[in-house]
Amino acid sequence: MPAQRPRQSEPRGKGRPRAFDRAQALNKALEIFWRQGYAPASVAELCKAMEINPPSLYASFGNKANLFLEALRHYEHTYWDAPARRFLAEADVYSAVEQFFQEAAEILLSPETPCGCMVVLAAVNISEDEKEIIAAVRALRLATKTMFADRFRRAIQDGQIPADTDVPALAGALNTLLEGLSLQARDGLFQSELKAIAAHAVRMLPPRSQHA
């Protein structure tokens, strides 16, 4: 039974047309990886969610690891690009931290996938020889910490926090709290509880400096 083929914007190729929407299948895979993590998400379950058979998965995405990496990039852009942009755009560093952590709490317990951050959790307890996956999520976590640090250095230049602030430690502390929120989300906290915790992030900033 020839399923109604999805309208593809790309120019039609030569052979038999693909019967599934690649982007839609990737989204389904993302949801599985997000909820379960990399290792426990079996290819069989991924195929079931994507509504394709293994050969289609391997033809389109290479292998399980590559599928994950592609889903991870998609996740990062879809959910975190905008909050990160707003974090950097907000002029006041205290408001920026407050707002970012509230938005984070909303993403980590979003109704569709209330299971923390994929970058933080998906590759915990993974086999050590999945080097590419470990490196990918690690790089994204490091990028968040670097984003915090850069923002705090700017806040020093703007005279919002003291010049002798230990920026790496402060950025590390906020990053630690942020990653910890993912564990709380997995532990079943309500969004109200998560937001009440997230509100404590800004307390770790040094007191607003009284610049001349």
Partner DNA sequence: AATGTTTTATAGTGAACGATAAATATTTAC
Partner DNA sequence: GTAAATATTTATCGTTCACTATAAAACATT
Q: Which of 90, 98, 106, 193 binds a copy of itself (CB under 8 A)?
A: 193
- Amino acid identity at 128: E
Inter-residue contact 164 to 64 (CB < 8 Å): no
Contact positions with a copy of itself (CB under 8 A) in 132-171:
138, 141, 166, 168-170
Q: Are 29 and 122 in contact (CB under 8 A)?
A: no
Which residues in this chain contact DNA in the complex, by CB under 7 A? 1-2, 5, 12-20, 39, 41-45, 52-56, 58-60, 63-65
Q: How far is the CB of 14 from DNA (least distance, A)?
A: 4
Q: Which amino acid makes up residue 121? A: L
**Largest interatomic CA distance in the chain:** 76
- Please, which residue, 48 or 85, has the CB nearer to DNA? 48
Q: Which is nearer to DNA, 40 or 180 (CB)?
A: 40
Contact 15, 4 (CB under 8 A): no
C-beta of 38 vs 80, nearer to DNA:
38
Selected from 32, 107, 108, 122, the binder of a copy of itself by CB under 8 A is 122
Q: Burial letters for 93-126: b for 16+ Cβ neighbours within 10 Å, e otherwise?
A: beebbbbbbebbbbbbbeeebbbbbbbbbbbeee
Which residues 8-37 are close enough to bind a copy of itself by CB under 8 A? Answer: 36-37
Smaller CB distance to DNA: residue 105 or 133?
Answer: 133
Using CB under 8 A as the binding rule, whether residue 186 contacts a copy of itself is answered as yes
Question: What does the CA dihedral 70, 74, 76, 78 come to, rounded to 10 degrees?
Answer: 180
Partner interacting with residue 165 (select from DNA, a copy of itself, none; CB below 5-8 Å by kind): none
Answer for which of 125, 163, 210, 212 binds a copy of itself (CB under 8 A) is 125
How far apart are alpha carbons 182 and 161 in whole angstroms?
A: 28
Q: What are phi and psi of 91, to 5 degrees?
A: -70, -40
The smaller minimum CB distance to a copy of itself, of residues 52 and 115, is found at 115
Which option in DNA, a copy of itself, none does residue 64 bind, with CB closer than 5 to 8 A by kind?
A: DNA
